Structure 1
Amino acid sequence: MVLLGHRGSGKSAAGNIILGREEFEVHGEDVRAAAQQCVKARALVEDTRVSVIDTPDWFQSERSPEEVKAQISSCVALSAPGPHVFLFCVPVDRPTHSEMPALRALEGVFGPDAVRRHTIVLFTRSELLPEGAACVEEVEAYISSRRPEMLELVQRCGDRYHVLQSKSRQISGVKELLEKVQQTVKESGGGFYSCSLYQQNQEEVKTIKRDRQNQSHTLDALRETEEEEEVMSAVEKSDCLVSAAPAPSLLHSMWERTSSGARRVPKLLAVGALTGAALGVFLAGAVGGAVGAAVGSVVTEVGRRRFIKQKTE
């Protein structure tokens, strides 16, 4: 659920009521303290996992286009792949002359269906009504008889609304709100809302993941090359201690015989063991045994480190 509305509309307080805890900072109408970024919080409410995103006032005339764009982008990223519902917060204790332009702005950003099929008007601050409405029915009667402009907002949002009350920390109406959210999702096709903004965000996420995977593969290839070069270097260094090399045909024959028992050993481990074994066999005397053992241990250690790394990954 994404909370939208003007500064002082009760967005953060409504989010806290829905979540059942003080998760969002409540700033009221203090311009200096007003939230400047989107915040997401989760909770288990009425046996339902709920995510709520509190947003700044996008409709302030003093905000630069860059600020608004950054905040909308943040909201899209936090609610991806798309929200199930937008909760448009409207305080019933003050005029609503700027709410209709705000709805039109939302249509311009997210598309007409975002308002027509996925938005619920959430009436807030009912406890501040001068008449002191004590229940939802009284608030509804007040709106229908004295605030026709609010009825127009509701009609624009597919006749979906909810009165959220909080009095002396005795919270009511959250269960009914969740039921209305579920009904809204069902009526809109049973899924989350998506538009070009969310689709573009998903493509960007996929691109980032693909780039990271490519970078990871490149690093792995570089490490493998370095380790293979280390192996070859160890083998080449051993050649300078050998006065006479065995015939290629004999070495190939020995390799075929010894490798048949090592096919289930990781590649570099097998290379290390067989290299050491071959050198130990074909180099005569104590020098040959020492060189074979040394080269075998070096190559085997390199292979062992790679094998352990692969297992941990």
Structure 2
Amino acid sequence: MVGHDPVSTRVGNTLYEMVGPQLTERFREEAGGETMPGDTILVEGLRGLPSNAVFFLNLSPWDDDQEGGAVQVKLMFYSSLHHDTVFPMSSLLNELNSDLFQVLRLGINTILTSCEERGFGSVALPVLGAGIALRFPDSLVAKVLREEVHKFEQNRNSRTPMLINIVIHPNDEDSCEVFKSAQEAFQLRGFTKDVHQPYGVSTSKRIVLLGKTGSGKSNLANTIFGEKLFTTNDSPNSGTSTCQAETKSVNGRSITLIDTPGFFDTREGEEDLKPEIVSCITECSPGPHAFLIVLKVDKFTEHEQAVITKICQYFSKDALKYAVIVFTHGDQLPKGKKIEDFVNQNKKLSDLVESCGGRCHVIDNRYWNNKVQNNYRSNQFQVEELLNTVDKMVMENNGGYYVNQVFEAVEKEIQKEEDLIRQSAGNMPVEEVRKQAKSTVSNRFLINLAGTTTGVLLGAFCGVRAMVGLVITALQNSPVAMNFLKKIPALGGAAAAAVAGGGEVAVVAAGAAAGVTLAAAGGVWGGVIGRDAAEGAETLSEAVDMAANAVYNKGKKIVRF
């Protein structure tokens, strides 16, 4: 704000339009009197705002006009800093403007510190002072902002993440260019150690759709986007067979939807899913902002119960913090009922939704395509409600995305590959560089994990700690891991076995009743052997053959067939 006036800037006026006179009333209550440059006033509890609080920072205008109230205010402030000192007017203004920047630095630091002390998970800073009211130089504001944010990050003691956004008006092209250059300099100087969004990663919200074949994942994706971008098939053999990702703007949000095959099918032949699980991990790297677990509004037979059991088996509690249950075939919902009523009729389903923070929505891809707003049985209404839930969930997760060691390892490899591509490809577009890097890393990881079971990969993807650790172990193949794996046969006599049949070779975990430990041990045992054997492979099929033969031969020495 300019001086002590909370509605003296475009941002202040916009806030006033949103909440009305309560803005100035609450401001006067909190200020208690006049404020000086550098003072901050925190106003909380403004009804009608999507944020918890607003900070008002008192600044004096930056200009070289030697007449008018702006300079008078600045001179009053300057005289409080330099008593009885005489300067030529030009020198005085230069010194004064320098002091104003120190005030800006102090204000930014005060705001960030206050946010941390109050436990705020995020803060949005406009380009402070660079508007038409205060006229601070864009380049200097960018410098101050990035330096103060970096200083705050370096000095803070809390390990709790806090998301700091710099908000630029879409028409402010000058500030956009300045901050784009500043961000590049920020990264080149090594300030991106803990920055939320890695270089080259899209700022879209990455949303993964999960469910069994025929649940309506692809149709749901098309409904969200409002056009048919994902392949659907109504034949008896319907179902997504490969991982597909598309990006589009929806109601002012940039959304990337990642459609997947039936990861939670209870059918046999799950080995076919391994390439798609790996592809999904790389496609949504560095991690998804949300999982949409897709189910049908339908009677719950043993098959549906088995799917829910499998979801609960593979998802960790951490991953469920990022999950929303979405029901399709909403026309099956009895009239007058909401989806929460349907959920409460089944204990296991109710428990699953509760594990996801109570987040559930319903869509009908065929009959709810009307344009009536605020109608529960309208896809337009339900899509907006769903995206609002995702927005709220992301905020509750401190603006972050879901990540575990597997995603971290994949992202690290993707960034390494991006560096190599940029060195050799010159001015290739950022999007193309990342696309090529993802493809290369996906193939490499698939070869390394050729001997790992599908269940272990899926568990690692969904955050089961044991599975995550075992996949990382298989990838790294460290001496410590090998010493651990040598003890695996003692876990149950037949921790893992290589079974040949029908021309196929697969790694399976023996003794299913022994639970996750033996299953995971068998998977990683095969994974490490397979990785070692397939290291020199040039193609996926060659890697699979080499890994399978190695696991089979090792298995014969441990287990009696």
2:278 aligned partner: 73
Which has the higher relative contact order, 1 or 2, with Cα contacts under 8 A spaced 6 or more apart?
A: 1
2:418 aligned partner: 209
* Residues 40-189 of structure 1 mapped to structure 2, 5 A cutoff: 40-60=245-265, 61-65=267-271, 67-95=272-300, 96-107=304-315, 111-115=316-320, 117-129=321-333, 131=334, 133=335, 137-144=337-344, 146-166=345-365, 167-170=367-370, 171=379, 172-189=381-398
Q: TM-score, normalised by structure 2?
A: 0.35
Q: Distance in 2 between matches of 1:28 and 1:197?
A: 35
**Does residue 9 of the first structure (1) align with residue 9 of the second (2)?**
no
2:403 aligned partner: 194
Which amino acid in structure 2 is aligned with residue 100 of structure 1? I
Which amino acid in structure 1 is aligned with residue 322 of structure 2? H
Which amino acid in structure 1 is aligned with residue 216 of structure 2? G
Q: Distance in 2 between matches of 1:19 and 1:77?
A: 22
Q: Distance in 2 between matches of 1:139 and 1:160?
A: 11
Structure 1 pair 105/215, CA: closer, same or farther in 2 (3 Å)?
farther
* Deviation for aligned residue 1:81: 1.4
Structure 1 pair 21/62, CA: closer, same or farther in 2 (3 Å)?
same
Q: Distance in 2 between matches of 1:126 and 1:86?
A: 20
Whichever structure has more helix as a proportion of its residues is 1
Structure 1 pair 7/216, CA: closer, same or farther in 2 (3 Å)?
closer
Which amino acid in structure 1 is aligned with residue 338 of structure 2? E
Structure showing greater radius of gyration is 1
* Deviation for aligned residue 1:29: 7.4
Q: Distance in 1 between matches of 2:312 and 2:346?
A: 20
Which amino acid in structure 1 is aligned with residue 214 of structure 2? G
Q: Distance in 2 between matches of 1:102 and 1:42?
A: 29
* Deviation for aligned residue 1:161: 1.3
SS in 1 for 2:338: helix
Which amino acid in structure 2 is aligned with residue 91 of structure 1? K
Which amino acid in structure 2 is aligned with residue 125 of structure 1? H
SS in 1 for 2:402: coil
Q: Distance in 1 between matches of 2:339 and 2:360?
A: 12
* Deviation for aligned residue 1:213: 5.3
- In structure 2, list runs of 5 or more residues that go unmatched: 1-206, 371-378, 427-561
Contact conserved, 1:7 with 1:28, CA < 8 A, in 2?
no
* Deviation for aligned residue 1:37: 0.5
Q: 1:26 aligns with which of 209, 221, 232?
A: 232
Aligned length: 206
Contact conserved, 2:213 with 2:262, CA < 8 A, in 1?
yes
Contact conserved, 1:165 with 1:173, CA < 8 A, in 2?
no
* Deviation for aligned residue 1:105: 4.4
* Deviation for aligned residue 1:128: 2.8
* Deviation for aligned residue 1:216: 6.8
Structure 1 pair 216/182, CA: closer, same or farther in 2 (3 Å)?
closer
Q: Distance in 2 between matches of 1:84 and 1:216?
A: 31
Q: Distance in 1 between matches of 2:234 and 2:305?
A: 19
Structure 1 pair 64/164, CA: closer, same or farther in 2 (3 Å)?
closer
Structure 1 pair 29/10, CA: closer, same or farther in 2 (3 Å)?
farther
Deviation track 1:14-46 (CA, whole Å, cap 9, x = no partner) reads 11111111111223573x342211111122111
Which amino acid in structure 1 is aligned with residue 260 of structure 2? T
Which amino acid in structure 2 is aligned with residue 62 of structure 1? E
